[in-house]
Amino acid sequence: MRLKDKVAIITGAARGIGRETAVLFSREGAKVVICDVVDSGQETAAAIEAAGGEALFVRVDVTDRESCNRAVEQTVERFQHIDILINNAGIVRDARLVKMTEEDFDLVVKVNLKGTFNMTQAVAPVMIDQGKGKIINVASVVALYGNFGQTNYAATKAGIIGMTKVWARELGRKGINVNAVAPGFTQTEMTSSVPEKVLAMMREKTPLGRLGTPRDIANAYLFLASDESDYVHGAVLSVDGGLIP
């Protein structure tokens, strides 16, 4: 098992890529802390435990610093250490620049960018004291290439790449690896409401000719969370089927 006895906190783990990651990590031997703002995260934890794994659900609002701090405290109380943090939580509120509301811009920044900051700042002292840890931030292909109607989302994901580079410099000497994953177009709940003609266009733009799956992204998280990536640091791993601008 690639994550035997590791403790992994995964935000946004009630569904989609986060849920897939939690299940995969558990199969690889990790004790999984499922953090989400929705209570259906309890169902993910129950499914993992029914399969013989060990999981803890913690209701977390990543925009609330105290909520993040409590999640870390509960994790340490239950498992004594934290080996992996996956900053997977994120939302979209798409609109063209001229129609985007200030409220939607601020909300996406608060969840995606500030939420990643809040959770990492809560976990970092634990990992520093341990002298080791893996932090995986979730960026996006749109941070690299842009995307129509996603001013707010692209800005947050580009900011996450910037924070990843800074934290890699700050935390590397403490024994903590910090990397980012930049998924391409991926079939999740976020894309379920996208018109088929738009999905077809996404597939056409992707050299592999298909959308990504949650497992595709979870496999990248697994590599960066495992000992196999111990010399990968400050990197942005594109998992996008070869997408080009």
Question: 57, 99 in Cβ contact below 8 A?
Answer: no
Single out the catalytic residue among 145, 153, 221, 231.
153
User: What is the end-to-end Cα distance of the chain in Å, rounded?
Assistant: 37
Q: What is the pLDDT of residue 191?
A: 65
Q: What is the pLDDT of residue 56?
A: 98
Q: What is the pLDDT of residue 61?
A: 98
Q: What is the pLDDT of residue 189?
A: 73
Q: What is the pLDDT of residue 245?
A: 63
Q: Enter the DSSP assignment of 243.
A: -
Burial (Cβ within 10 Å: 0-12, 13-18, ≥19) of residue 181: buried
Find, among 118, 86, 120, 64, the residue nearest to 18 by Cα: 86
Domains, the chain: 7-238 (3.40.50.720)
Q: What is the pLDDT of residue 144?
A: 92
Q: What is the pLDDT of residue 195?
A: 73
Cα gap 233→154, rounded to integer Å = 23
Whether 145 sits among the annotated catalytic residues: the reply is: no
Cα gap 229→214, rounded to integer Å = 20
Q: What is the pLDDT of residue 200?
A: 87
